[in-house]
Amino acid sequence: MIKVVLLGSGNVAVQLAKAFHKNENVEVLQVYYHTKLAKYFKNKNIECTQEIYLLKDAHVYILCLSDDVISTFSKKIDLPTKLVVHTSGSVAMNDLECNARKGVFYPLQTISKDKKMSFKKVPLCLEWEHEKDKIILEKLANSITKNVYYLDSSQRKQIHTAAVFINNFTNEIYQIAHDICKENDIPFELLHPLMLETTKKAIKTEPKLIQTGPAKRNDKTTIKKHLNLLNEKQQKVYKVLTNSIRERHANK
């Protein structure tokens, strides 16, 4: 049985607790919270505290805090024989400034509190300071997902940047398409199948191998036609991505 204490009461803490709860080999002993305790923890009668000095004896302490407070908060932790991990993509392991063994337990997914989510396919990126902590972190990760990876702090920073492209930028592209539809009385749902198909295809191969369209063909007539239909802001995005595709495929 792996005993866990969660520090934080936001989306990540709640979703991790739910995932651990399904596994009989992991017990969430306690939740530390700062100002507000999530309903989930109240409903499940999980012990909670607002005092660092009242933290219970556990195997792993998981900081589920926003990136900018991890370092400062970690200074308060004085558990020299214990393993303390954070769950952030963009914070280095050594930004933990606690007196403890350090590690990282980073689930690569967009996590919302309310949405029912399954961790089964969520990649968990692990890092550890001491080799002996590898086994317990692996066990903990395997208790909720089959996709466990080992990334050092530098790789994790890179994947976090790549995730901004995948998540935030793709979403903005979708919104621009949504705007175009709205301005022209076209239901956005018309594009839903294409959204899914594009993503599924890119998952099966290297995306550039299945690229099509006017930018790849360097079809200036169509590119010009499209630019004429767009507003200035949309044109900026269109141009920079068209150039990116054009340059990539010009050398082929």
14/55 Cα distance (integer angstroms): 18
* Least distance to a second copy, CB of residue 227, Å: 9
10/38 Cα distance (integer angstroms): 7
Output 2 or 202, the one with its CB closest to a second copy. 202
* Least distance to a second copy, CB of residue 199, Å: 5
36/9 Cα distance (integer angstroms): 7
Q: Which helix (H) or strand (E) holds 149?
A: strand 148-150
72/68 Cα distance (integer angstroms): 8
**Taking CB under 8 A as the rule, does residue 54 contact a second copy?**
no
**Taking CB under 8 A as the rule, does residue 167 contact a second copy?**
yes
For a second copy, the binding residues in 175-234 under the rule CB under 8 A are 175-178, 180-181, 183-188, 190-203, 206-208, 210-216, 222, 225-226, 229-230, 233
| Non-local CB neighbours of 112 within 8 Å, separated by 6+ positions | 11
For a second copy, the binding residues in 79-138 under the rule CB under 8 A are 90, 108-110, 121-123, 125
DSSP secondary structure code for residue 168 in this structure: I
* Least distance to a second copy, CB of residue 189, Å: 8
Q: Which stretch binds a second copy (CB under 8 A): 46-54, 74-82, 93-101, 146-154?
A: 146-154
221/227 Cα distance (integer angstroms): 10
Output 80 or 187, the one with its CB closest to a second copy. 187
Output 50 or 72, the one with its CB closest to a second copy. 72
